[in-house]
Amino acid sequence: MISFIDFNLFARIIASIIAIIVAYYIGKIAESQVKKARIEAPPEIIYNIARSLKMIAIIIGILVALSILEIDLTGLLIAAGFAGIVVGLAAQQTLSQLFAGIALIIEGRLKIGDSVKVGDDWGIVTSVGLLSTKIRLWSGEVLTIPNSNVMSSKIYNYSKSIARRADITIGISYNADISKAINIIKRVLDEKELVLAVPPPTVIVDNLGDSAVVLKILFWLPSKEYWTIRREIIREIKEALEKEGIEIPYHREYYGLSLR
C-alpha cells in the first residue's frame, strides 16, 4: 500500500517536472519565434514581448505542475497575495526599475540604435529591457544602466533630431581682413554638400581675444553625418584660410627680461 502511494507520488513529481520542462521549452520556442517574426514594431518591444511570453509559459507550467501535485492553488494564491506584499516591499528597487522600463518603452525616449548620452555616458543603445538599458559606449564597452537611473538622468537623444547645429570657433590674426576670412569660410561651407543651405550658415565675429579675432561659425548638418562632416570642415577651413594668406595665430605671451 505504502509503495503504491510512493509510486503515485513519484509519478506525479515526475509529471510535474516534465510539465515545467515542457512549459520552459514552449516558452523558449515562443520567445525565439517572436524575436524572428517579421513584426513591424520597435525591436525593444519585440524583445520584451518575447521575454514576457517565455515567463508566462513558465508560470503556466509551474501552475500545471502544482495542480498535478494536487496542491490547493486557492490557498497558494492567498499565500501568494501576502507574499506579493512582502516581496513588493523587499523588491521596491526592482519594481521601480520595472516601471521605469515600461515607461521608457511606452514613451519611446530611447530606441535600439539611437545615439544617446545618458548622464555622462555616450554611445549607441543596444537594448531597452524591462529592468535595465544597455548602451555600447563609443569606446566599445557595453554599459548596463538600471532603468530607474536612466529615467532620473538627463537623456540626450541625438537620433531624435534629423539635423544638428555645429558650432566652431576659430581665431584669425588681428592683421587679417575679417570680411575676406568670413567669405572664405562661407565658400567652404557652401561647397560642402551636406552643410544645409537652410537654416543658412552664419559666421560672426564673436570676440576680440588676446591673440586673435575670434570668429564663430554656426551651421546645420544631418545628424547622422554630424561628426564626419564637422571634422572635415574644420580641416578645410584651416587649409582654405592658410591658402589665402589668413593667419590663424596661436596663443603667444611675451615676457620682457632686463639684465643689469
- Measured from the CB atom, the residue of 11 and 197 that comes closer to another protein is 197
Binding mask 217-236 for another protein (x = CB under 8 A): ---x-xx-x-----------
Q: What is the phi-psi region of residue 245: left when phi exceeds 0, alpha when psi lies from -120 to 50, beta otherwise?
A: left
DSSP annotation of 49: H
Q: How are beta strands 121-128 and 202-208 bridged, if at all?
A: unpaired
Contact partners, residue 10, CB within 8 Å, separation at least 6: none
- Measured from the CB atom, the residue of 21 and 163 that comes closer to another protein is 163
CB atoms within 10 A of CB 37: 11
Contact between 107 and another protein by CB under 8 A: the answer reads no
User: Which of residues 26, 49, 196, 240 is near another protein by CB under 8 A?
Assistant: 196
User: Which of residues 144, 152, 161, 207 is near another protein by CB under 8 A?
Assistant: 161
Contact between 22 and another protein by CB under 8 A: the answer reads no
- Measured from the CB atom, the residue of 199 and 209 that comes closer to another protein is 199
Contact between 164 and another protein by CB under 8 A: the answer reads yes
C-beta separation of 237 from 185 below 8 A: yes
Contact between 51 and another protein by CB under 8 A: the answer reads no
CA distance 58 to 19: 9
The C-alpha cell that represents 192 in the structure block: 560642402
Contact between 117 and another protein by CB under 8 A: the answer reads no
Tally of residues, the chain? 260
Residues engaged in binding another protein (CB under 8 A): 160-164, 190, 193-199, 220, 222-223, 225
